[in-house]
């Protein structure tokens, strides 16, 4: 019980540090301060110090399975695992780029698709996440580390975690969105939203894509792959945190708007990543965060469709 409270405190302080850093940076930028980045970093370090203090008092997260305990590892081993996780992310995006480029070109060449159309964008999204899956499958095949990704038939407990996870993510999204609006903080938009606002049908097409591809394959990369690699030498709580931060950062390239407006979005994405990472660690079943992620995106796409069509 004590360990569970300690790790919970660490995650809350880290989250508070991220949120505080975002608010401080945005406020300093609006006031024209030339030290906005330094002030934001100082706010984050403040939260990080307390989070590190909590973590150092805990060896594992609550009542996780016995094999989730952090085993001692050398700095070299940890460095290699961090490098492996970063390379996996790079490989996923490079593979996705190759699959999208080659696949789209072939489909346009045979007359199945017309470049620049709505269908072309949807197929591009499908191919991107297929590329993620190909990259992770390639990594597992090369390393022979098939036990890295844990997938099993869901139990009633897993279904309960899915329900709790979806409610938690949607609730957190609503609260954070209201907070940012009340504080007049500008937030960048995802390119998916921009495309959907131009043609709302895109949101409807993306709902099955989110459930069948976005959730499963993004979770395969960041929870199954990155978090799985890191937890072996860094321990579960650090693995959850690092994979979530990386998850937030990769969204930077998918945003439109000024750099300052992208920071709140990245922060929110990293925060949601903490929830997904914790669900994976508690369930030890990738299906749980994958389904939660897909359903969460479905709710967002549905809300965006209603807003874009004037039905909400």
Given this model, what pLDDT does residue 298 score? 96
Given this model, what pLDDT does residue 172 score? 87
Given this model, what pLDDT does residue 60 score? 46
CA 33 from centre of chain: 31
Given this model, what pLDDT does residue 131 score? 95
Q: Full-prediction pTM beyond 0.85? A: no
Encoding tokens for residue 164? 């709790």
Looking at the DSSP bridge assignments, the partners of residue 256 are 189
Given this model, what pLDDT does residue 234 score? 93
Helices 236-250 and 2-30, axial angle in degrees (round to 10): 30
- Neighbouring residues of 303: CB distance < 8 A, sequence distance ≥ 6: 312
Cβ proximity of 250 and 180 under 8 Å: no
Q: At 225, give phi and psi (nearest 5°).
A: -85, -70
> Where are the alpha helices (H) located in 31-74, listed in sequence order?
36-56
How do the pLDDT tens digits run along the chain, 312 residues long? 444 444 455 555 555 555 555 555 555 555 666 665 665 566 666 666 655 665 555 544 444 444 444 456 788 999 999 999 999 999 999 999 999 999 999 999 999 999 989 999 999 999 999 999 999 999 999 889 999 999 999 999 999 999 999 999 999 888 888 888 887 888 888 899 999 999 999 999 999 999 999 999 999 999 999 999 999 999 999 999 999 999 999 998 888 766 667 888 898 899 899 999 999 999 999 999 999 999 999 999 999 999 999 886
């Amino acid at each position: 019980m004590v360990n569970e409270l300690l790790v919970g405190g660490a995650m809350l302080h880290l989250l508070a540090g991220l949120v505080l850093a975002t608010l401080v940076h945005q406020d300093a930028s609006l006031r024209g301060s030339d030290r906005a980045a330094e002030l934001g970093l100082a706010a984050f370090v403040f939260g990080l110090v307390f989070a590190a203090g909590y973590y150092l008092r805990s060896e594992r997260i609550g009542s996780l399975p016995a094999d989730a305990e952090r085993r001692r590892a050398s700095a070299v081993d940890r460095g290699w695992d961090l490098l492996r996780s970063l390379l996996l992310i790079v490989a996923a995006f490079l593979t996705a780029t190759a699959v999208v480029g080659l696949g789209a070109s072939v489909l346009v060449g045979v007359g199945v698709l017309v470049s620049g159309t709505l269908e072309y964008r949807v197929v591009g999204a499908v191919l991107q996440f297929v590329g993620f899956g190909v990259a992770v499958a390639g990594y597992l095949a090369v390393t022979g580390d098939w036990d890295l990704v844990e997938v099993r038939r869901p139990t009633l407990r897993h279904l309960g975690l899915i329900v709790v996870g979806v409610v938690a993510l949607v609730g957190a999204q609503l609260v954070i969105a209201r907070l940012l609006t009340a504080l007049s903080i500008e937030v960048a938009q995802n390119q998916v939203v921009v495309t959907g606002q131009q043609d709302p049908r895109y949101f409807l097409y993306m709902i099955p894509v989110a459930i069948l591809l976005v959730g499963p394959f993004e979770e395969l990369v960041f929870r199954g792959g990155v978090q799985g690699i890191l937890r072996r030498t860094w321990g579960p709580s650090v693995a959850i945190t690092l994979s979530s931060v990386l998850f937030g950062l990769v969204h930077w390239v998918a945003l439109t708007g000024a750099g300052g407006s992208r920071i709140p979005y990245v922060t929110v994405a990293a925060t949601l990543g903490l929830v997904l990472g914790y669900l994976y660690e508690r369930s030890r079943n990738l299906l749980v965060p994958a389904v939660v992620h897909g359903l969460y995106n479905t709710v967002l796409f549905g809300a965006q469709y209603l807003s874009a069509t004037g039905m909400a």
